Amino acid sequence: MTYDEIVKGIKDLTIQGAEKIAIAAVDAFSQKLAETKDREQLKKYMDELISLRETEPALRNALKYCFENFDKVENACQIAHDHFKKSQELIAEYGANKISDDMIVYTHCHSSTVEAILIKAHQQGKKFEVYNSETRPKFQGRITATNLAKAGIKVTHFVDSAGRTAMKHADLFLFGCDAITSEGKIFNKIGTEFLAEFANEARIPAYSCTNSWKFDPQTLYGFEEKIEERDPKEVWENPPEGVTIFNPAFEIIAPDIITGVITEIGIVKPETLVLEVQKHYPWMLAQ
């Protein structure tokens, strides 16, 4: 894909999923890096790519690494690109250890990381079933159901409003992540919070599965993570006069209602992730 095609794809959600967005943005930046080494011009490209999606720290962190190291580290963009692939392999291994025979694993929306965990557990010979929700209005849950079914995993697909009913039978709740703050707040697809709350009440282990580059270092300094609001027409093309559509893409899951976060640097409590990031990726916290 060309730079312009990637920009369009991220903007119109053809490219979706936090890690896929970050990887695509790195590829786009790399194209421009092949054309120019002018720092001012490259910053403009970086800023343009960052502006495409609000709630995506992985996008920002990956581009920051590329921009700050393109003239210091050989193949900086390739290193950033490879980070996501290698990390997902580690997260899949760690997450698969949480799955055992005869489990029902619940998941919401589409997370390539959760998907990798489930497929890894299946490849290990574990016999389990997945419950997942459709995730309106864009139905990303169908992507999850389709991919898992193709991998040979049994899936039962639920309407969003049946999430609590489905969760009653689950043994484990795995969900993705779009952002993590310094306070341990997890930002994920709208609909995740009530599922996490019920899992907590029912003592069902609940893990956010994510690359640690989704940590937002700016939240250390008082900045708030923005929640992206999407086009109301996704929900209702022509609502009647007097009806306002609210279509947030994400919501906050409090750290005290989930069991932990499965990352490439280990399984940790969300509020302690900042310490692990500081240890493994000190450049991320540098202002």
Does 287 have pLDDT greater than 70? no
Q: pLDDT tens digits, residue range 41-97?
A: 999 999 999 999 989 999 999 999 999 999 999 999 999 999 999 999 999 999 999
9-13, 100-104, 213-217: the lowest-pLDDT one: 9-13
Rounded distance, CA 2 to CA 28, Å? 7
**Per CATH, domain 3-87 is 3.40.50.880:** no
Q: pLDDT tens digits, residue range 221-270?
A: 999 999 999 999 999 999 999 999 999 999 999 999 999 999 999 999 99
Q: Which residues contact 251 (CB under 8 A, 6 or more apart)?
A: 187, 188, 189, 190, 191, 192, 193, 227
Q: Which helix (H) or strand (E) element contains residue 179? A: strand 179-180
Does 17 have pLDDT greater than 90? no
Does 174 have pLDDT greater than 90? yes
Q: What are the start-end ranges of the H helices in the chain?
A: 3-11, 18-35, 39-51, 57-69, 76-96, 112-123, 141-150, 163-167, 192-201, 273-280, 282-285
| pLDDT reported for residue 216 | 96
pTM of the model as a whole: 0.93
Per-domain residue ranges for the chain?
Answer: 3-87, 89-285
Contact 253, 200 (CB under 8 A): no
In three-state form (DSSP H/G/I as H, E/B as E, the rest C), the secondary structure along 138-155 is CCCHHHHHHHHHHCCCEE
Contact 135, 167 (CB under 8 A): no
Q: From residue 101, how far is each of 1, 36, 147, 152, 236 by CA, in Å? A: 41, 53, 20, 15, 42
Q: Which residues contact 267 (CB under 8 A, 6 or more apart)?
A: 94, 207, 260, 261
Q: Which long-range contacts (CB under 8 A, 24 or more apart) does 63-72 make?
A: 63/22, 63/25, 63/26, 63/29, 64/283, 64/284, 65/283, 65/284, 66/26, 66/29, 66/30, 66/33, 67/29, 67/42, 67/43, 68/283, 70/33, 70/37, 70/42, 71/37, 71/39
Contact 196, 172 (CB under 8 A): no
Catalytic residue from among 160, 177, 178, 216: 178
Question: Can 178 be counted among the known catalytic residues?
Answer: yes
Mean pLDDT of the chain: 96
DSSP letters along 5-34, please?
A: HHHHHHHTTSS-SHHHHHHHHHHHHHHHHH
Question: Can 171 be counted among the known catalytic residues?
Answer: no
Contact 104, 66 (CB under 8 A): no
Rounded distance, CA 124 to CA 272, Å? 30
Under CATH, which number does the domain 89-285 receive? 3.40.50.10470
Catalytic residue from among 66, 77, 109, 177: 109
Rounded distance, CA 251 to CA 52, Å? 19
